[in-house]
Amino acid sequence: MLEIKNVTKKFGEKTALNGLSFNIPTGSVFGLIGSNGSGKSTLLRVISGVYEPDGGSVEIDGVSTFENPEVKAQCFFISDFPYFYNNSTVANLSVLYKSMYPSWSDDKFRKLACMFPIGINDRIINMSKGMQRQAALMLALSVSPKYLMLDEIFDGLDPVVRQLIKKLLVEMVTENNSTIIIASHNLRELEDVCDHIGLIHSGGIVLEKELDEAKLGIHRVQIVFDHDVGEGMFSELNVVKMQRQGKLINLTIKGDGEQIEKYLRGMQPTYMEMLPLTLEEVFISEMEVVGYDIDNIIK
Amino acid sequence: MTLTTLSSKELKPLYKWALKRNKSVMIIYSLFLLVFGPILNMYIISSSSSYGSDYEELSIITLIIYQVLAAFFTFVSSLKTFSYLHNKRSVDMFGALPANRTTMYVSHLLAGLTSISGPYFVMSILTLGITTRTGDMLKFGLYTVGTTLLMIIAAYVFTSLIAYCCGTVIDTAIVTIGANAIWVGIIGIYYGFITEMIPGVDFEAIIDTPLLVLFAPYGFSIMGTVYYEMEQTGSLVTLLIWNLIFIAGMLFLALLAANKRKAETSQNGFAVKWLPMVIKAGASVVCGGFIGVIAAEVADSGYNNMFVFCFWYVIIGLVAFTILHIIFARGFKGKLLPSLFTYLGTTAAAIAVLFGFSFGMGMDTYVPNPATVKSVTFDNTEFKDPENIKTITEIHKVITAGIRYENEYPYYLGDDSYSYDPYYTKSYYDDTYADDELYTDDVYSNSKTTTNNYYLVNQANCSFIYKRKVGFGVTRYYYMYVNNERKNYYDYDKMNDLLTKLYSSEEYKKIANQDLFDDEATANIVSADLNYFYYTGYGKTSDYVSSGIANLSTDETFMQGFREALRQDILEDPEYLPNVRINYYKDNYGDLSLGLGDRCIELQTVYKYEKEGSMPTFNSNYDYSPNYNDGTYTITTLIKGSYKNTYKYLSDHQVVPKVIDNYSDFAFSYPQSYYDFCEDGRPDTLRKLTEDVSIEFAVTACSTVYGVDPNEWLDKNYNDYKDALLKKSDELYKKYFDDLETPDEPETKYFSGYDEYYDSYYDEYSEPIYTKQADNILNELLSFSFEYVEKSVNKKSVV
């Protein structure tokens, strides 16, 4: 269990994380989503022990990660821009990581080296952005960490490699019971691989749930009435958003799906359909709740 | 740094990784060392036929080049090693690795040190192996290697600390260079101020302590070499101890910084917020002070110099402050105006302190209490006798008493009124032969014929270097010379008495004749010769003439007796003269001044070195001449006419007749030499010259021919002799010149010729036209003088 306990991180006057608290269950793939500058990368750095929190703590199995080599040996962090020295190659970095991480597996490294289309003796700095990420992932997966933190890992990867990586991540979770935390704006990819999501905004947690639960807790309804309907008619529902297109009304409603359907059907609509929400729609809906929507930005 | 860190399993891989990162710097550095060390030395040695000391010079030069290279590459390597702190992406990578921050720091530090000290050590030892031929050189070499290694550690740790305090590589570089330069600059400027404004305080005193490089670790080894070369063992030890303390202190702070530094500082300002402010303030003090001093010197407008200084100090200081502010803030986005309050505060404080120096701060009149002094080096001679220490403090007080009186007080920058420049006078002293070191007329100080009876130490430079029984020493240098104006300010009579007392002390006599008083040195004597010597001075020229008149036996029994007699005479001499060149100017004959007091017998003793490297070092208290070709050195000792024991010993051993014989031959060939001074061949001039030569001849004859103390002879006979001589001279002058016309300017003849001595042709040569007449006059005057002396002493010469 990875516990984030009341974590605060400030950069000068700016508060990047503001008393953040939630848990990430072991063996989960946790998608960390949020607006730009919400604190996702900062949180990953705090979890990885790169940043020292100004308040609170991040604990793995009850032990703080910061300045704790034993705990950090179970973690691996790939930042949004992985760093490589000029002369770094996958091969010479493997020597470093092998000696630093007790869980390093040569077999796995060899297998991954055959799997990824990159030369392990090539200078990483000369590789494309996507290949650099693949190099970083090769090394990370060879470590087989208990906790893998990935920041915008899908950026610059082609669809095939994305599929490959998702497959490898799922395998890792299955085989090692590893916990993976992925911060990304690519919600489509997260939706495929994550079983938990956490939505943060302005340094605070907005939502932290299992993905399915998150999706089930919010619903999009298309509904048509043959009579005029005022906005006040839906006041008993937790309507997040309502849009009219002629007689067609699009509603985004939070709450229990069955109760919402029963309530709406009781209003005798001429047409009604409840549609599933994508993660992106969930994100937008939730962000609208906290005032982060396009209308507000335009204003 | 704890043992836990050193034994942690993460240390080794991180160390190896950091070392790998430094590989490029290490290779370039090694190539430089290889080229400037072994390769260059082997090339020079293989193409040179010389052997020995040349190699050692080569080795010294190489080791000094190595120090510079070590400092430069330490700087580059340390920036590179700790650059991982200054890039957000690398901070992510290293921060996430399973190692604590202490381990991360120590591994990088050790790797960096290895990359610089490893190649340095190997190449230095290789170079020493190629070039070293003597134990001394090996000692110097190993010492230099040791201090340079310490410098590398100190500088590396220092730069690592700065790296942890800064967010970017460029800031680290600026702050590192700035901190070193600012410290040296501030100390230099303040000492420059003190030296320039406060009489007596020595600029070189700064070199005697590690203060100049206290927080400038990149200068440690260079300063150490300076101390070694200057044989300042105390300073050397202090510097080495400070070096170790500095390393320990900086390491402690660096570990603290490593554990406190926030990772997000990377590429983002400074981890220590006040650091840029300190650098900006320091730079303003140094730049403003430096330009201010130059402007004040150039302006040369008396007390207004101080205002010129302040004006430029404020302007240039502000410019330096602003430029650094823009660099650190990457533009004007930083809060320049609020930070200017720091500038104003620093400037006000610095100017206040600098103005304070105008009042001397008590340093201009300070003389240590003799009870607290362990020894004092006065005029390059170290005195330990409490009585002498007291005498020297009294001499010092005579000087300080006149200081404020003579110089305009309060002092001001660029005040040239007292021509006080100890740095110059010290250099002057070091580069000048003994002629200028002691200045006295005192051979016949009791004689009525003398007028200016003043000793002057170093002629222009007078130094006091006090070592305390406990605590810091005191060093003062003064620019001293006698002129009528200065006599109004300084009590030269008192100073003369004190100097006479000091130089007549047993301690000084033994210092000034250390080989003579060393029984064991008798066995090392190769030869001992007696010379007649005198100073001649005509117009502005002076010259030293010496001629051998007897070779003494080096038989040990004879020599021991002779030396014992001479020691006794020296110890009993109530007005002992330091045996350096003695100048004396006699006013009686107007502008014609011949050295009346400078004729003596001198003893030239040639010693062989006891062993290689035992050549005595230069000492201004005795006339010393080393001969590196045959492994000997010569010490010259004056034998004054009053040294009865010595003359008796020589007489008892049949040496005096030999002296007289040789002297007589020499004396009567003397007229030939005076042509050299006959640049102006007018009869009047020639007359004065011949008279002066005759007086000198007569006085010389007293001591060298008849063994009579010239002082006594002059006391009894000078006035009568002078009257007789002038009367005789009148006769001769009329006899040889009355029938000649006396032109205003003498006719001269010019011709070309070949000078065999210089192996060159000369174009023209002028010869006085009256030399024939002058020859006759001189010969007759010399005969007259010789007979006069003979009659007056009632002795018969053997001539």
% of chain B beyond a pLDDT of 70: 69
| Partners of residue B600 on adjacent β-strands | B533
Over residues B99-128, the mean pLDDT reads 93
Read off the tokens for B182.
């600012």
Find chain B residues with C-beta within 8 A of A51's C-beta.
Answer: 95, 262-264
pLDDT, one tens digit per residue, over A167-222 is 999 999 999 899 999 999 888 888 888 989 898 888 888 888 887 777 777 888 88
Mean pLDDT over the full length of chain B: 76
Given A157, A188, A213, which residue is the final one in a domain? A213
Find chain A residues with C-beta within 8 A of B98's C-beta.
Answer: 69-70, 72-73, 75, 100-101
Given A161, A178, A213, which residue is the final one in a domain? A213
Beta strands in A139-237 (DSSP E): 147-151, 179-183, 196-201, 204-210, 218-224
For residue B250, what are the CA distances in angstroms to B80, B84, B180?
19, 20, 14
A50 contacts B96? CB cut-off 8 A = yes
Residues in contact with B764: Cβ distance below 8 Å, sequence separation at least 6, in sequence order: B750, B751, B752
B21 contacts A100? CB cut-off 8 A = no
Residues A31 and A148 in one domain: yes
- Which of A54-63, A164-173, B227-236 is predicted least confidently? B227-236
Tell the residue number behind the tokens 């997040």, with chain if given: A240
Q: Does B103 touch chain A (CB under 8 A)?
A: yes
Over residues B163-176, the mean pLDDT reads 94
Over residues B69-82, the mean pLDDT reads 95
Residues A35 and A156 in one domain: yes
B196 vs B39: which has the higher pLDDT = B39
pLDDT of B451 reads 32
pLDDT reading at B670 higher than 70? no
pLDDT, one tens digit per residue, over B17-61 is 999 989 999 999 999 999 988 888 888 777 765 555 556 677 778
Q: Does A13 touch chain B (CB under 8 A)?
A: no
Determine which of A10, A48, A52, A70 to mutate to test the interface with B (most B C-beta atoms within 10 Å). Answer: A52
- Which of A227-236, B176-185, B280-289, B589-598 is predicted least confidently? B589-598
pLDDT reading at B436 higher than 50? no
Can you say how many angstroms the Cα of residue A178 is from the centroid of all Cα atoms in its chain? Answer: 16
pLDDT of A6 reads 93
Find chain A residues with C-beta within 8 A of B20's C-beta.
Answer: 87, 92
pLDDT, one tens digit per residue, over B586-599 is 222 222 223 333 45
Q: Does B27 touch chain A (CB under 8 A)?
A: no
Using CA atoms, how far apart are residues B790 and A284, in angstroms rounded to an integer? 131
Beta strands in chain A (DSSP E): 2-11, 14-24, 29-34, 55-60, 63-64, 75-78, 147-151, 179-183, 196-201, 204-210, 218-224, 238-245, 248-254, 271-275
pLDDT reading at B408 higher than 80? no
Tell the residue number behind the tokens 């016309």, with chain if given: B741
Find chain B residues with C-beta within 8 A of A99's C-beta.
Answer: 12-13
SS percent in chain A: helix, strand, coil, step 5: 35, 30, 30
C-alpha closest to that of A33 among A297, A263, A290, A216: A290
Q: Does B12 touch chain A (CB under 8 A)?
A: yes
pLDDT of B641 reads 64
Residues A200 and A142 in one domain: yes
Indicate the residue of B17, B92, B99 with minimum beta-carbon distance to A69.
B99
Find chain B residues with C-beta within 8 A of A125's C-beta.
Answer: none
pLDDT of B611 reads 59
Helix (H) or strand (E) holding B400: helix B386-406
Give me the DSSP letters along B377-399. EETTEEE--HHHHHHHHHHHHHH
Over residues B429-456, the mean pLDDT reads 31
Residue B58, number of CB atoms within 10 A of its CB: 18
Dihedral angle of Cα B493, B495, B500, B504, to the nearest 10 degrees: 160
Q: What is the 3-state secondary structure (H, E, C) of B427-474?
A: HHHHHCCHHHCEECCHHHCCCCCCCCCCCEECCCEEEEEEEECCCCCE
% of chain B beyond a pLDDT of 90: 27
How would residue B169 be classed by pLDDT, with cut points 50, 70 and 90?
Answer: very high
Using CA atoms, how far apart are residues A7 and B601, in angstroms rounded to an integer? 97
Domains of chain A: total: 2
Find chain A residues with C-beta within 8 A of B97's C-beta.
Answer: 72, 100
pLDDT of B425 reads 30
pLDDT reading at B372 higher than 90? yes
What are the residue ranges of helices labelled H in B132-232?
135-165, 169-197, 205-208, 220-229
B96 contacts A72? CB cut-off 8 A = yes
pLDDT of B59 reads 72
- Which of B229-243, B271-285, B434-448, B673-687 is predicted least confidently? B434-448
- Which of A122-131, A163-172, B124-133 is predicted least confidently? B124-133
Residues A151 and A35 in one domain: yes
Over residues B227-235, the mean pLDDT reads 79
Tell the residue number behind the tokens 């080229």, with chain if given: B35
B264 contacts A83? CB cut-off 8 A = no
Indicate the residue of B10, B95, B99 with minimum beta-carbon distance to A50.
B95
Indicate the residue of B14, B96, B100 with minimum beta-carbon distance to A75.
B96
Find chain B residues with C-beta within 8 A of A73's C-beta.
Answer: 98
Residues A206 and A221 in one domain: no
pLDDT reading at A66 higher than 60? yes
What is the residue type of B784? F
Can you say how many angstroms the Cα of residue A49 is from the centroid of all Cα atoms in its chain? Answer: 19
DSSP state, B656? H
B312 vs B553: which has the higher pLDDT = B312
Nearest CA to CA, how far is B20 from chain A (Å)?
A: 9
- Which of A269-273, A276-280, B477-481 is predicted least confidently? B477-481
pLDDT reading at A47 higher than 90? yes
Using CA atoms, how far apart are residues A272 and A223, in angstroms rounded to an integer? 4
Find chain B residues with C-beta within 8 A of A48's C-beta.
Answer: 92, 95-96
| Partners of residue B446 on adjacent β-strands | none
Over residues B95-111, the mean pLDDT reads 94
SS3 label, residue A7: strand
pLDDT reading at A52 higher than 80? yes
What ipTM was predicted for this assembly? 0.86
Find chain B residues with C-beta within 8 A of A87's C-beta.
Answer: 20
pLDDT, one tens digit per residue, over B567-593 is 999 999 876 765 433 332 222 222 222
% of chain A beyond a pLDDT of 70: 98
Residues A142 and A84 in one domain: yes
CA nearest to B271 within chain A: A12
CA nearest to A92 within chain B: B17
Residues in contact with A102: Cβ distance below 8 Å, sequence separation at least 6, in sequence order: A73
Helix (H) or strand (E) holding B529: strand B525-538
Indicate the residue of A48, A68, A70 with minimum beta-carbon distance to B96.
A48
For residue B297, what are the CA distances in angstroms to B300, B408, B425?
5, 17, 19
Can you say how many angstroms the Cα of residue A268 is from the centroid of all Cα atoms in its chain? Answer: 40
SS3 label, residue B648: helix
pLDDT of B429 reads 31
pLDDT of B549 reads 65
How would residue B539 be classed by pLDDT, with cut points 50, 70 and 90?
Answer: very low
Residue B693 sits at the vertex; the CA angle it makes with B689 and B696, to the nearest 5 degrees, is 140
Residues A253 and A126 in one domain: no
- Which of A244-253, B143-152, B299-308, B684-693 is predicted least confidently? B684-693
Give me the DSSP letters along B52-100. SHHHHHHHHHHHHHHHHHHHHHHHHHHHHHGGGGG-HHHHHHHHHSSS-
Over residues A120-134, the mean pLDDT reads 92
pLDDT of B457 reads 40
Residues A122 and A195 in one domain: yes
Residues A137 and A283 in one domain: no
Residues A207 and A228 in one domain: no
Read off the tokens for B8.
């942690």
- Which of B7-11, B310-314, B373-377, B467-471 is predicted least confidently? B7-11
Indicate the residue of A48, A82, A100 with minimum beta-carbon distance to B13.
A100
C-alpha closest to that of A187 among A33, A292, A43: A33
In this structure, the strands spanning B632-639 and B623-627 are antiparallel
A69 contacts B93? CB cut-off 8 A = no
How would residue B613 be classed by pLDDT, with cut points 50, 70 and 90?
Answer: low
Are A125 and A165 in contact by the 8 Å Cβ rule? The answer is no
pLDDT of A139 reads 94
pLDDT of B540 reads 30
How would residue B138 be classed by pLDDT, with cut points 50, 70 and 90?
Answer: confident
B116 vs B204: which has the higher pLDDT = B116
Nearest CA to CA, how far is A119 from chain B (Å)?
A: 21
Mean pLDDT over the full length of chain A: 88
B93 contacts A51? CB cut-off 8 A = no
- Which of A111-115, A230-234, B339-343, B426-430 is predicted least confidently? B426-430
pLDDT reading at B102 higher than 70? yes
Indicate the residue of A48, A69, A101 with minimum beta-carbon distance to B100.
A69
A101 contacts B96? CB cut-off 8 A = no
Backbone angles phi, psi at B356, to 5 degrees: -55, -30
Indicate the residue of B10, B101, B264 with minimum beta-carbon distance to A100.
B10
The CATH number of residue A286's host domain is: 3.30.70
pLDDT of A141 reads 94
Find chain B residues with C-beta within 8 A of A76's C-beta.
Answer: 96
Residues A187 and A267 in one domain: no
Nearest CA to CA, how far is B161 from chain A (Å)?
A: 20
Backbone angles phi, psi at A56, to 5 degrees: 75, -170
- Which of A119-133, B252-266, B491-505, B509-523 is predicted least confidently? B491-505
Find chain A residues with C-beta within 8 A of B5's C-beta.
Answer: none
C-alpha closest to that of B197 among B501, B404, B405, B445: B404
Over residues B143-158, the mean pLDDT reads 93
How much is the pTM? 0.69
Over residues A221-234, the mean pLDDT reads 81
Domain holding A252, by residue range, is 217-298
Give me the DSSP letters along B313-373. HHHHHHHHHHHHHHHHHTSS-S-HHHHHHHHHHHHHHHHHHHHHGGGGGGTTT----GGGE
Using CA atoms, how far apart are residues A107 and A142, in angstroms rounded to an integer? 8
| Partners of residue A275 on adjacent β-strands | A220
pLDDT reading at B482 higher than 60? no
User: Which residues 68-97 in chain A show a CB within 8 A of chain B?
Assistant: 68-70, 72-73, 75-77, 79, 81-83, 85, 87, 92, 95-96
Residues A78 and A120 in one domain: yes
Over residues B305-331, the mean pLDDT reads 89
DSSP state, B579? B
How big is the A-B interface in CB pairs under 8 Å? Answer: 67
Q: What is the 3-state secondary structure (H, E, C) of B728-770?
A: HHHHHHHHHHCCCCCCCCCCCECCCEEECCCCEEECCCCECCC
Residues in contact with B425: Cβ distance below 8 Å, sequence separation at least 6, in sequence order: B458, B460, B461, B477, B479
pLDDT reading at B754 higher than 80? no
